[in-house]
Structure 1
Amino acid sequence: MPSGGSGGYGDLVTSARPGRPEDVSQSVPKVLRVSAALSWRLVAVAAAVWLISWIVGYLAVVIIPVAIALLMSALLAPAVAQLVRWRLPRGLATAIVVVGGIALVVGVLYGVINAFIGGLPDLQKQVAGSVKAIQTWLAGPPLRVSTDQLTGFTNQIVKLIQDNQLTITTSALSTAATLTEVLTGVLLVLFTTIFFLHDGGGIWSFLIKIIPADVRPRVDVAGRRGFASLVRYVRATAAVAVVDALGIGIGIGIVGVPLAVPLAALVFLGAFIPIVGAVIAGTVAVLVALVAKGFVSALIVLAIVIAVMQLESHILQPLLLGRAVQLHPLAVVLMIAAGFTFGGIAGALMSVPILAVLNSGIRSLLHDQGVDPSEVDPTRPPKVEPGHGK
């Protein structure tokens, strides 16, 4: 027999031996192999997301102030950059902008608190009148609730408060501790914002040193594009918030609802959580109108809130936020829901900016190849190139 014959037979026997990895993988259907490969990758991604969420939650006392400082830096960075272009030293420009911003915030808070204190007696009188009107309505047909029943219900509420006095006291002490944490966070936000404004470029250059040198320029450009998107988002959101606050505040002021200025300030703050925040703040305004002025005034305030929300969703959002971050409304809503689930109010506040930065950064990594990082100025509107960002 030729020598090659035994070799061919041996190869045939070897290829037919069970247990070889390549033979086992080939015997598994392709759909199952692909599903298994996707499954373990999804498990790895889910584990990474869970680990990151746990780390963020554990370090929330530090991460949340730093994130808020980044938002504040995005809002104030164009002003600092403009002063630097006017040949002011960067330290002096940062000091002017920070001190001016603090003065503006303190002035607004002073006006809001004064308006709240001034409108509180009027609100108390109107609430007392509304309570009497409700009692009269309950005593009449068709409910015919007697005065003794109302008194008994009130006594039950008082007894419930007395029985839970220890819990209320503990909550008050917890609130005091929370206020201490808030004060610490505010100071951390202030100092972090100052350093971001004064030496943000140096901090970013230090952070990207961990990136391999061959891809570092592209990551540098993507980071600058992401921060530019954050700047546009914060400015557009602030503009939308001002319009919402003015529209609802002037409307409820005309209706005669007390605390119009504090409610307008609440609407302004709520508008920084897109779509959801202004609606919640408007609902508070409707409830205040219902308690203080009655059902008809509450319906009028509700109509004002709906009109302002329609103006925001159909005109302001497409013109300002749509151009600033290029995000679909469904993506915004889902991201807010996910952020609120993971991080509460802070998560809802930071979810859309994070999505905007990631969207812009990924687009830059995919399209902006060979761009000099020094040519990208995050504080100025980007140059729109044909076909870019589609």
Structure 2
Amino acid sequence: MNPPPVTKTAPADHAVPPAVRAAASWSWRLLLIGAALAVLLWLIAQLKVVVVPVAVALLLTVLLAPLVGWLHRRLRLRRGAAAGIAVVALVAVVGTLLGLAGRSVVRGIGDLWDQASEGIDTILDWLATGPLQLSTADLEGWVDRLQESASGASSSVLSGVLTGATTVGHLLAGAVIALFCTFFFLLDGRTIWAWVVGLLPRGSREHVHQAARRGVVTLGAYTRTQILVAAVDAVGIGVGAAILGVPLALPLAILVFLGSFVPIVGAVVTGSIAVLVALVAQGPGAAIVMLAIVLGVQQLEGHVLQPFLMGHAVSLHPVAVLLSVAAGSFVAGILGALFAVPIVAVLNTVVLYLHGHDKFPQLGTSDHVTVRGRGHPVLDRAIAQVAELESERAATKADESDLGAGQATGEDEGATVQGAGDRTSGARDRDEQR
């Protein structure tokens, strides 16, 4: 008698459609990734006094590395001396620009304030005699209310001053940390990077090293291109302001240069400040001309510099650049807007390389034969030692296999000789018997 057939119960997973299971799998993984990113951003926000100067030091290192290499190779200077000269030259250039801007501000702020006061008086007269026909009593009442609001906000102003003093202290500390890190990155950057890579598992070190090399190339291209774009914006707006006779033309140009490091948005904000200064100093006509100059420079940046230069340097579409700046400013304010594009550009290059799409195939790999001297010396030596050990192991295995084959051949030859001897002795015995 045959046993009754066993009925199999369908697993519970079969009751859930595959699309829902896939969506659930993606959902909890994305939630974990989002939580990890949130924790990382929180840690960065807590340590921004240290993280931001280190990020600035990385940008300065990429910018000054060619100068240090040229001083080290051509002038035969020690690397420490070359790094020191580069950092001192950077401080001298920045100090000179700030000194010129500060002198121009001190000289022109008095005239600008007088012109602003005259402009305010003109606006008040227009409000009293123009279409609104506001009485003097109404205007005086508004002025009194403004004064009361200002006096009532004295505590807020005092707290703002204290906060500003704290911010200035943080800026000075950050500047010292950035210069200190820049010097040592230029001096021992390769050794520091080798130590960082050495903390990773052995199998992933080479991939991380190669991805980081390409990220550094992208970061350098972004930095140089952004300096060129900022210089074009500053020269265009500064020369236009100087031709119109707008006061503080040089400080405005320097402000535009610094603001242009926030792509697309920075030059617009700083250019609007130039338009406002022209309006206060010379009236609506000069302000309209200044606005046309700013818009012309923005068109040059948006349609020529950003798509061709920046797009070629970092391989990012202008829409991606704009969204990166918006997201960075929303998350971290002005610092997020400043660092959003380089972070996205480096991540784009690194992720593409790790997925098999190499944007810089000319860099090759860190193989100790093909890229010796172009890669990382410490990592190259380590990779060379590993390759030598593998070669020795392969040679040892080959010797062992040859020895085993030789023994087997010797045994076969011995067996053949012995067999031949046996056959010879057997034939001799048969002859004797005959």
Task: Tell me the TM-score normalized by structure 2.
Answer: 0.81
For 1:198 and 1:304, locate their aligned partners in 2 and report how far apart those are by CA, in whole Å.
43
Contact in 1 for aligned 2:307/2:318 (Cα 8 Å):
no
1:118 lines up with 2:112 in the alignment = no
Tell me which amino acid in the other structure corresponds to 1:372: S
Task: Name 1:46's counterpart in structure 2.
Answer: 34
Deviations 1:260-313 (A, max 9, x none): 111111100010011111111111111222222221211111100000011111
Deviations 1:172-229 (A, max 9, x none): 1121122111111111111011111111111111111122222322221110110111
Task: Name 1:30's counterpart in structure 2.
Answer: 18
CA drift of 1:55 comes to 1.0
* Structure 1 residues 145 and 377: CA distance shift in structure 2, 3 A: farther
Task: Name 1:58's counterpart in structure 2.
Answer: 46
For 1:200 and 1:27, locate their aligned partners in 2 and report how far apart those are by CA, in whole Å.
57
For 1:308 and 1:186, locate their aligned partners in 2 and report how far apart those are by CA, in whole Å.
31
For 2:149 and 2:62, locate their aligned partners in 1 and report how far apart those are by CA, in whole Å.
48
For 1:310 and 1:210, locate their aligned partners in 2 and report how far apart those are by CA, in whole Å.
47
What is the 5 A alignment of 1:207-356? 207-356=196-345
Task: Name 2:357's counterpart in structure 1.
Answer: 367
Tell me which amino acid in the other structure corresponds to 1:65: P
For 2:88 and 2:270, locate their aligned partners in 1 and report how far apart those are by CA, in whole Å.
29
Contact in 1 for aligned 2:366/2:372 (Cα 8 Å):
yes
Name the structure, 1 or 2, with higher relative contact order (CA <8 Å, separation 6+): 1
For 2:315 and 2:326, locate their aligned partners in 1 and report how far apart those are by CA, in whole Å.
19
CA drift of 1:134 comes to 1.1
What is the 5 A alignment of 1:126-145? 126-145=115-134
Q: Secondary structure at the match of 1:367?
A: coil
Contact in 2 for aligned 1:74/1:231 (Cα 8 Å):
yes
1:149 lines up with 2:143 in the alignment = no
For 1:341 and 1:375, locate their aligned partners in 2 and report how far apart those are by CA, in whole Å.
44
CA drift of 1:32 comes to 1.2
Tell me which amino acid in the other structure corresponds to 1:179: V
Contact in 1 for aligned 2:306/2:318 (Cα 8 Å):
no
For 1:230 and 1:41, locate their aligned partners in 2 and report how far apart those are by CA, in whole Å.
30
CA drift of 1:376 comes to 8.3
* Structure 1 residues 342 and 49: CA distance shift in structure 2, 3 A: same
For 1:254 and 1:48, locate their aligned partners in 2 and report how far apart those are by CA, in whole Å.
53
Say which is worse superposed, 144-153 or 244-253, in terms of deviation: 144-153
For 1:31 and 1:286, locate their aligned partners in 2 and report how far apart those are by CA, in whole Å.
56
Task: Name 1:385's counterpart in structure 2.
Answer: none
For 1:298 and 1:282, locate their aligned partners in 2 and report how far apart those are by CA, in whole Å.
11
Say which is worse superposed, 250-259 or 127-136, in terms of deviation: 127-136
Task: Tell me the TM-score normalized by structure 1.
Answer: 0.90
State the aligned residue count.
366
CA drift of 1:323 comes to 1.3
Deviations 1:22-79 (A, max 9, x none): x111121112111111111111111111111111111111111111111111111111
Contact in 2 for aligned 1:221/1:376 (Cα 8 Å):
no
Task: Name 2:70's counterpart in structure 1.
Answer: 82
Tell me which amino acid in the other structure corresponds to 1:124: W
For 1:292 and 1:147, locate their aligned partners in 2 and report how far apart those are by CA, in whole Å.
25
Tell me which amino acid in the other structure corresponds to 2:57: A
Contact in 2 for aligned 1:242/1:268 (Cα 8 Å):
yes
For 2:142 and 2:280, locate their aligned partners in 1 and report how far apart those are by CA, in whole Å.
19
For 1:283 and 1:376, locate their aligned partners in 2 and report how far apart those are by CA, in whole Å.
49
Say which is worse superposed, 363-372 or 116-125, in terms of deviation: 363-372
Q: Secondary structure at the match of 2:202?
A: coil
Contact in 1 for aligned 2:218/2:313 (Cα 8 Å):
yes
Structure with the greater alpha carbon radius of gyration:
2
Identity of aligned residues (%): 44
Tell me which amino acid in the other structure corresponds to 1:174: T
Tell me which amino acid in the other structure corresponds to 1:249: G
Instruction: Give the aligned CA root-mean-square deviation in angstroms.
Output: 1.7
* Structure 1 residues 376 and 165: CA distance shift in structure 2, 3 A: farther
Say which is worse superposed, 139-148 or 190-199, in terms of deviation: 139-148
Deviations 1:223-265 (A, max 9, x none): 0110111011001100111110010011011112111111111
Q: Secondary structure at the match of 1:215?
A: helix
For 2:200 and 2:98, locate their aligned partners in 1 and report how far apart those are by CA, in whole Å.
43
For 2:150 and 2:278, locate their aligned partners in 1 and report how far apart those are by CA, in whole Å.
27
Tell me which amino acid in the other structure corresponds to 1:367: H
* Structure 1 residues 142 and 29: CA distance shift in structure 2, 3 A: same
Tell me which amino acid in the other structure corresponds to 1:42: L
Contact in 1 for aligned 2:307/2:317 (Cα 8 Å):
no
CA drift of 1:377 comes to 5.1
Task: Name 1:172's counterpart in structure 2.
Answer: 161
Say which is worse superposed, 289-298 or 103-112, in terms of deviation: 289-298
- Which runs of no fewer than 5 residues in structure 2 stay unpaired? 376-434
Task: Name 1:384's counterpart in structure 2.
Answer: none
For 2:130 and 2:173, locate their aligned partners in 1 and report how far apart those are by CA, in whole Å.
55
Contact in 2 for aligned 1:224/1:377 (Cα 8 Å):
no
* Structure 1 residues 60 and 376: CA distance shift in structure 2, 3 A: farther
Say which is worse superposed, 229-238 or 291-300, in terms of deviation: 291-300
Which of these residues, 150, 162, 174, is aligned with residue 151 of structure 2? 162
* Structure 1 residues 363 and 85: CA distance shift in structure 2, 3 A: farther
